[in-house]
Amino acid sequence: MSKQGQWIAGINAVASALEHDVEHVREVLIEAGGKNARLTEIEETARRRDVSVRRVNTQALEGIAGGLRHQGVIARYEAAKQLAESELPALIEGAEGKALLLVLDGVQDPHNLGACLRSAAAAAVTAVIIPKDKAAPINATVRKTSAGAADRIPVISVTNLARTLRAIKEAGVWVYGLDGEATTGIHGIDLRGNVALVLGGEGEGMRRLTREHCDGLVRIPMPGEMESLNVSVATGVALFEAVRQRLG
């Protein structure tokens, strides 16, 4: 990321950054003449929190947004909010036996990653774990697609995913990978304790080493003729099966 940071666009993304990570918001640009009540609320929040606000014309706003759907507002953001891998054990311990981790092995489409983070926030996951290599970074597109979820949940980028899976298993977390060819359905396993759900990226799914470090492989039952689901859809289905069990 450059010293100037990145631009995030859209009402939900900017509002969430102001609410959850205001120390990294450097400036907010709002479309001149915009009458949307949410834009007014964002402007008031930014000024109240001592963030610079400027009203600019539509052409200038669209030029800076670079093709992102901005909804009349963008913000210059200094750094994506991510935790260090060393903070993961404390998060698991703090969940008091109810940790729910989402592990995404190589999701490269930022729209898919953003959608996964949105489902993760809705399911109140303890943390999302992503590899540093061969995966989409938390960028402006991810933040936009996640509707602000990238600011609400811990996202941990790790150097060695297999090593991280070993570590969380040692911390008492059961690790289940989703695989369309598995014989066990996800509804047939207990997801109420410390659990990590692992989903592979687009195309090839989980890598071999990731698969080998899972305690078990499970599938989402699909009586229809489709062979697989989009990773973000599968993430939502898997997470909310865990939520169903925990609330049942």
Question: In the predicted model, what is the mean pLDDT of the chain?
Answer: 90
Would you list the DSSP string of 99-165?
A: -EEEEEE----HHHHHHHHHHHHHTT-SEEEEESSSS--S-HHHHHHTTTHHHHS-EEEES-HHHHH
Domains and CATH numbers, the chain: 6-77 (3.30.1330.30), 85-247 (3.40.1280.10)
pLDDT tens digits, one per residue of 25-45: 999 999 998 778 999 999 999
pLDDT of the residue at 1:
38
pLDDT tens, 137-148? 887 778 778 877
pTM (predicted TM-score): 0.77
Q: How confident is the model at residue 226 (pLDDT cuts 50, 70, 90)?
A: low
Window from 61-70, 99-108, 184-193, 215-224 with minimum mean pLDDT: 61-70
Label residue 192 by pLDDT band (50, 70, 90): very high
What tens digit of pLDDT does each residue of 6-29 get?
788 889 889 888 887 788 899 999
Does the pLDDT value for residue 159 go beyond 50? yes
Residues 96, 243, 222, 232: is their CA dihedral positive or negative? negative
Q: What pLDDT is stored for residue 3 in this prediction?
A: 41
Burial label for 97, CB within 10 Å (0-12, 13-18, 19+), is exposed
